[in-house]
Structure 1
Amino acid sequence: MTESASKDTSKPVDRPFSPWRFAKTEASKALITEAIGDIQRYEEQRKLRQRKRKEHDRETFELTAEAILCDLMHHALYRRPDAIYVTRSNAVLRDRNRYRPRVYGKTFPDVLDRLAAPELGWIVQEIGDSDWRQGARRTSIRPGPHLLARIDTGGITFADLGLARVTEPIILKSEKADFWDEAQVIDYLDTEETSLFRREMRDINEWLRSADIDYGTYRGDTGHVPDTGDRDLRRIFTRGRFDNGGRLFGGFWQGMSKESRFDRLVIDGEAIVELDYAQMGPRQLYGIACAVPDAADLYAIPGFEEHRKGIKIVFSAMAFHDKPLTRMPRGAAGKFPRGARISEITEAIMRHHPAIADLFFSGVGHQVQFQESRIMVDILLSLKSNGIVALPIHDAILVASSNAAVAKQVMADVFSHHVGFPGLVDVSSTHSG
């Protein structure tokens, strides 16, 4: 079950800087050594430093330059049209917590400025706004002409870049003040529960790292190429609570279109199938209410049978909101007859589902999402114990076609364990549009 929101897809969206990439081979290490040498000569010529860096500071400086350049090399190899956004905020860079890598320190802006010097041309930097007002521009970076040239002459590929395995897989985010607010990560003290969550994610990630997963390319391809080594997943909990959210994010396959997954993704040398829970959110609500749904399609609401897509959006909004809706949720307005009022739609849904009517407008959707994440983690661990690789996409998984039957049974059983009755699982072997 998800909160719906329309997104502007008319222009590329910048992605966040990943501080965990490093040079893995002699080719990429040589490039980093060259860049660091350029920076040091630039500092000497401009008299930007009075004395040499201390050993610890020198290591941090070199690691920072390496992380910036390696992430930009990865970005260029991925052939993405957008930029990478970074922070230059002292408040952020001086705050040490479980999420903050060593390279994100007080000297980070200085390293950016050195690499962006026109005389060097390693990166292109666009300085953002210094305030936090709505719509403020974030500082962004792109590969510079010299870096692009060295990627080409050095024959740099994805294989030359590594990804450190120290990323925190259990992330806690604050509650949003409103739709436009950006939730912030929250530091926390570990408990038995968070330690268990972390062990589960590390078991899953270790399994995925060793899996036989490939992406097919065709002669003449010019589009984005995913990094099939980017497989680590993380659980993101919301509203400052470890019983809210918890969905799994990450993995190169999550950013692919459904069509590309079916056309190009290969697991264990086989084409993939997608297994997706049908009507998962509504069925979870029935489980919470200790009731069993008796309708085949819980989104088929009398009077709105021809508007199922709109009903799904409204249904989800009714679960996530803590008070009755006064207007159409984002994305729903065009999916109902002209003149339809939101109160009529919500009342029709509640009349048709009296067993769960009391759960609407209570914010229960966040707990439903947490249960969904627990179901997915248990599915992945169960399939791992059977030697089956599964790639999660929220409430769906991708598996090799020969494993479809076993995976479907596991999904039905795990849903039953958490909810109280078997889950309905749809299996797709081709892109259906």
Structure 2
Amino acid sequence: MNTPATKDTSKPVDRPFSPWRFARTEASKALITEAIAEVERYEECGGHRTRRRKQHDQETFELTVEAILCDLMHHALYRRPDAIYVTRSHAVLGGRNRYRPRVYGKTFPDVLNRLAAPELGWIVQEIGDSDWRQDARRTSIRPGPKLFARLDTGGITFADLGLACVAEPIILKSEKADFWDEAQVIDYHDTEETSLFRREMRDINDWLRSADIDYGTYKTDSSPVPDTSDRDLRRIFTRGRFESGGRLFGGFWQGMSKESRFDRLVIDGEAIVELDYAQMGPRQLYGMAGAVPAASDLYAIPGFEEHRKGIKVVFSSMVFRETPMRKMLRGSVGNFPKGTHISEITEAIIRHHPAIAHLFFTGVGHHVQRQESQIMVDILLSLKSHGIVALPVHDAILVASSNAMVAKQVMGDVFSHHVGLPGLVDVSSTYVG
């Protein structure tokens, strides 16, 4: 088996274009109006258009200019060193599905080209490769000199930009072909189940949009800052099935370091605490097997008691894989004594957990993750009914410190309801590196 090439992590990673941003205030609207007028004059004087656009096409054109420039303004205000990647693929832009916004049409590349024209300089565009091979360069855009200048003279801030609440919150992705493959979104027909998922996510997102959440900054700060209005969560299912995955992604706090969350994040005017399930995955497996764990620490494997960190990595892989490992996993080699073979570790784990041994190497981890995600959704909805704002970070939540005990009780109850075992919840009020 060929070992996949190691990805270069030394360079900033471009982020995807968000087509949902819009000009919220008179200041940002004036900038967009100016850009639209300049593009139209450029088209007319340069002979790029011979007739006026139809009304529907004109509206789409204006919305496209607005979305591109607003996302780049947001990007510049965030002080990110990377670029934004976009698609110019006719296959993508020519199709219609639940995920495709109006601005993603066949004329999208033309609008990019107009804004990037040297005579205008609203954006800088680097056109990528036209094929889909691994590591092919994607087209990327950055703010141009004209946009930077107008940001400054217009005094544009985050408050001048809005984020439309029309993005699909329930996303289904295909199964990956290999480790480096990027799963593609899949269109689907709604069922009672997917409609329920969507209602749940919209209830949660509506609650978070109105919440009192802030991020502390200092005058000397020069690093990227988050946009605290970016709160919408989406639920991503995997492997082409709604029985797989379903974790919550999105929200400005998920991209923050754990240290920054404790140091800067404020909910309802209070410092936050983090509530995290202890040994969640293993306890879910015992619940699925209808068994009760005999040990208090399910990662404490005889013979490897001093190597708990490595055990967690191997244990997780055994749950998600469908075939046994033949060699040490990346990220676990340094966590075991030199010369230890992977089979010694996996056999020790299986011996220590006979009640769930039949679940290893069956791919059940995707179902475990699906259950975990529903547990998190139910926690957020339950806390909402208590008037408590909670921010999810995979299998943990962040709440105002005064709500820690109520949140802990809710997490325990919801876990017990889904798994059939008590939920073990750790509460942290400070960052431990």
Q: What TM-score bracket applies, with the shorter chain setting the length?
A: over 0.9
Q: How does 1:209-358 map to 2 (within 5 A)?
A: 209-358=209-358
- Does the 8 A contact of 1:78 with 1:226 survive in 2? yes
Secondary structure of 1:149's aligned partner:
helix
Mapped to 2, the partners of 1:274 and 1:353 lie a distance apart of 29
Mapped to 1, the partners of 2:129 and 2:8 lie a distance apart of 22
Secondary structure of 1:346's aligned partner:
helix
Q: Map Cα deviations across residues 197-238 of structure 1 (whole Å, 9 max, x no partner).
A: 000000000000000000011111111110000000000000
TM-fit CA distance, 1:8: 4.9
Aligned match of 1:33: 33
Secondary structure of 2:22's aligned partner:
strand
TM-fit CA distance, 1:336: 1.4
Mapped to 1, the partners of 2:121 and 2:339 lie a distance apart of 57
Mapped to 1, the partners of 2:91 and 2:361 lie a distance apart of 37
Mapped to 2, the partners of 1:81 and 1:49 lie a distance apart of 35
Mapped to 2, the partners of 1:300 and 1:42 lie a distance apart of 68
TM-fit CA distance, 1:421: 1.0
Q: Map Cα deviations across residues 12-57 of structure 1 (whole Å, 9 max, x no partner).
A: 1000000000000000000001111111111112100111111111
Q: How does 1:11-410 map to 2 (within 5 A)?
A: 11-410=11-410
Secondary structure of 2:397's aligned partner:
strand
TM-fit CA distance, 1:65: 0.6
- Counting aligned pairs with the same residue, the percent is 84
Secondary structure of 1:125's aligned partner:
strand
TM-fit CA distance, 1:7: 6.8
Secondary structure of 2:423's aligned partner:
coil
Structure 1 residue identity aligned to 2:300? A
Mapped to 1, the partners of 2:404 and 2:184 lie a distance apart of 38
Q: Map Cα deviations across residues 45-103 of structure 1 (whole Å, 9 max, x no partner).
A: 21001111111111101100100000000000000000000000000001100000000
Mapped to 2, the partners of 1:11 and 1:295 lie a distance apart of 44
Q: What RMSD, in angstroms, separates the aligned Cα atoms of the two structures?
A: 1.1
Q: Map Cα deviations across residues 166-221 of structure 1 (whole Å, 9 max, x no partner).
A: 01000000000110111000000000000000000000000000000000111111
Structure 1 residue identity aligned to 2:107? T
Mapped to 2, the partners of 1:46 and 1:332 lie a distance apart of 60
TM-fit CA distance, 1:337: 1.4
Secondary structure of 1:130's aligned partner:
coil
Q: Map Cα deviations across residues 233-269 of structure 1 (whole Å, 9 max, x no partner).
A: 0000000000100000000000001111001100000
Mapped to 2, the partners of 1:45 and 1:314 lie a distance apart of 64
Structure 2 residue identity aligned to 1:236? I
Mapped to 1, the partners of 2:416 and 2:215 lie a distance apart of 34
Mapped to 2, the partners of 1:52 and 1:301 lie a distance apart of 72
Q: What is the count of residue pairs matched by the alignment?
A: 429
TM-fit CA distance, 1:6: 8.7
- Does the 8 A contact of 1:6 with 1:330 survive in 2? no
Secondary structure of 1:85's aligned partner:
strand
- Does the 8 A contact of 1:6 with 1:331 survive in 2? no
Deviating beyond 4 angstroms after TM superposition, the runs of 4 or more aligned structure 1 residues are: 5-8
Mapped to 2, the partners of 1:226 and 1:101 lie a distance apart of 24
Mapped to 2, the partners of 1:368 and 1:249 lie a distance apart of 17
Gaps spanning 5+ residues in structure 1: where?
none
Mapped to 2, the partners of 1:38 and 1:334 lie a distance apart of 58
Mapped to 1, the partners of 2:11 and 2:432 lie a distance apart of 26
- Does the 8 A contact of 1:237 with 1:244 survive in 2? yes
Secondary structure of 1:403's aligned partner:
helix
Structure 2 residue identity aligned to 1:294? A
Select the structure with the greater relative contact order (CA < 8 A; seq sep ≥ 6). 1
